[in-house]
Structure 1
Amino acid sequence: MDTKEYIESGILELYVAGTLSEKEYEDVYNVLLKHPDVLDEVLKIEAAVISLTAAVSPHNTQHIFKAVKEQLGLDNNRQVITMNKPKSNWFKYSGWAAAIILAGGLLWTTNQNNTLKSDIQTVETDKELLEIQLEKVDTELSDAKQLITVLRDKDIIAIPLAGQTAYPEAYAKAYWDKKGDVVYFDLQGLPTPPNGKVYQIWSLKLSPLTPTSLGTVDNFTTNESKIFTINNANESEAFGITLEPAGGSQSPTLEQLYTLGAVSTSS
């Protein structure tokens, strides 16, 4: 069926107006069941009729009420209503009912589709998050395996860093790979620095005392392992960690020296 031609034929306006025969109503009703675009057109026509009726309806309805009473055979003295049995016109009303039911069905289907789309998007988002988490876990496992391999190397120098006056409970450990000019610092024993403060790591020469900054630990809070890799090409005799203002300091604040450890002379 060419629904566009059917819509333009004018039969839907007659359907809404209630002027079709029962057979014609039945035919239109069956078309509505099969073609949502035709149903949509009927709903638009009905909405237009309702709007037009509301716009032109008189404010004073007393004369209408009087006319209705006269048509029903009522007056001030008669209390009995005599009515003829109306001609059956089931399809006139079923057409409106079908339109409402089908419209509700289409609305429900649309809502279900929207819900399904939302659920699919949620699943896809969860899948992406899971993939990111798995990738992160794989990276962490790879880093952990690499770190274990490094720490088991016989040439790695392990230096314990003991707590100092500023925080006696603090402790840390350095693993120095002199061949690779890299030091792995395990800072699990340090407390979380307060806002506006960072830990700064120092390479120290002891005679005379000469500190060289190896940099600040800016991601202490977000690094769950608390293991940090620092480049170090210095001939270090000790390592120290101080608490400094964000951005670091030119020289260590000795009053805020948290840990200190000397490199063993036998290494």
Structure 2
Amino acid sequence: MKNKELIESGNLELYVFGLLSEAEMTEISKIAAEDADVKNEILSIEKSVVALSSSFAPNLSADNYSKIKQKLDLDNEVIQLQSKSNVKQYIGWAVAAVFLIGCGILYNLQNKKVTEINDLLEDKNTLEQTVSAKERLNNQINTSYAVLKDENNIVVKLAGQAVSPTSSAKVYWNNKTNKVYVDASSLPTPPEGKVYQVWSLKLAPTLTPTSIGLIDNAEDKMKYLIEVEGTVGAEAFGITLEPKGGSKTPTMEQLYALGKV
């Protein structure tokens, strides 16, 4: 066998690990002693083995590693790996390396799955919120349509007052159920910290206001009919602008709309 063919055959790796027969080991030792290329190739393989051991072998002390490295770098001689027990050690290091790499891959896959699950949960929550908003909108539309069609509802038109002459509103008051719905779509959007308050009014013998609900701009409520508290015996309805949370009595200088039944 020519020396170039010997280098490319893979037998030098087996020689380093002590996996050849005694005769083959002896033959390669003789060739290495006479051929610098073969000797250098063996040294290169041995250095690779030691480099691997320094990364993955927990039982290889710094002193032993330094001795082996010094043997390779300074003596420049081929190390005879006579005992096959060392092969088990190298195999153990290789298995440990594969195990560590496998753990890293599994860890990355797990993190990826966790991220994907979190993304799906966020999408689910967003979808649920969208569906809920659509359901509320659908209910508001259906309610508004039913109120407009109900012949038992009295429609009370509320005209704009001095503070806002262009404002207007409508109250739908059911004669049988006493339920009250308000169309506030023609009122300006209430400023921050303010809400509209709806009042049921009795005019005689004295003006007696009763609060029947608040209207703010949350979720564009003002675009649809808004149900407030029911009332009995109302003679008029009014809407004032009040601080958030409402007032016990109407602020008359902030009276935006007023209409008699």
Once the two structures are TM-superposed, the CA of residue 102 in structure 1 deviates from its matched residue by 4.2
Structure 1 length-normalised TM: 0.61
Can you list the C-alpha shifts for 1:216-238, whole angstroms capped at 9, x where unaligned?
416x1224232321223322222
Contact 2:213–2:228 (Cα < 8 Å) also in 1: no
Contact 1:200–1:213 (Cα < 8 Å) also in 2: no
Question: Partners in 1 of 2:207 and 2:179 — Cα distance?
Answer: 20
Q: How many pairs were matched up? A: 205
Question: Against the structure 1 CA distance between its residues 49 and 250, is the aligned structure 2 distance closer, same or farther, given a 3 Å change threshold?
Answer: same
Question: Partners in 2 of 1:142 and 1:70 — Cα distance?
Answer: 84
Can you list the C-alpha shifts for 1:169-189, whole angstroms capped at 9, x where unaligned?
322221111211111011122
Structure 2 length-normalised TM: 0.63
| Letter in structure 2 aligned against 1:244 | E
Pair member with larger Rg: 2
Match of 1:213 among 199, 203, 210: 210
Question: Against the structure 1 CA distance between its residues 129 and 69, is the aligned structure 2 distance closer, same or farther, given a 3 Å change threshold?
Answer: closer
Match of 1:84 in 2: 77
Match of 2:258 in 1: 260
Match of 1:72 among 66, 71, 74: 74
Question: Partners in 2 of 1:108 and 1:68 — Cα distance?
Answer: 35
SS of the residue 2:166 aligns to: coil
SS of the residue 2:108 aligns to: helix
Which structure 1 residue ranges, 5 or more long, are not aligned? Answer: 1-19, 24-42, 74-82
Q: How does 1:92-131 map to 2 (within 5 A)?
A: 96=93, 99-131=96-128
Can you list the C-alpha shifts for 1:33-76, whole angstroms capped at 9, x where unaligned?
xxxxxxxxxx9x957547x64xx89xxx9xx8xx9499835xxx
Question: Partners in 2 of 1:47 and 1:95 — Cα distance?
Answer: 8
Can you list the C-alpha shifts for 1:205-264, whole angstroms capped at 9, x where unaligned?
33455132233416x12242323212233222221111123333332211110111222x
Match of 1:224 in 2: 220
Can you list the C-alpha shifts for 1:114-158, whole angstroms capped at 9, x where unaligned?
211321232134224423432442343234223312211122112
1:194 aligned to 2:191? yes
Match of 1:138 among 132, 135, 139: 135
**Structure holding more helix per residue:** 2
Match of 2:242 among 241, 244, 249: 244
Contact 2:214–2:246 (Cα < 8 Å) also in 1: no
Question: Partners in 1 of 2:143 and 2:226 — Cα distance?
Answer: 13
Contact 1:206–1:237 (Cα < 8 Å) also in 2: yes
User: After the TM superposition, which of the residue ranges 113-122 and 252-261 deviates more from structure 2?
Assistant: 113-122
Question: Against the structure 1 CA distance between its residues 69 and 216, is the aligned structure 2 distance closer, same or farther, given a 3 Å change threshold?
Answer: same
Match of 2:231 in 1: 233
Can you list the C-alpha shifts for 1:95-128, whole angstroms capped at 9, x where unaligned?
6456435422321222112211321232134224
| Letter in structure 2 aligned against 1:238 | A
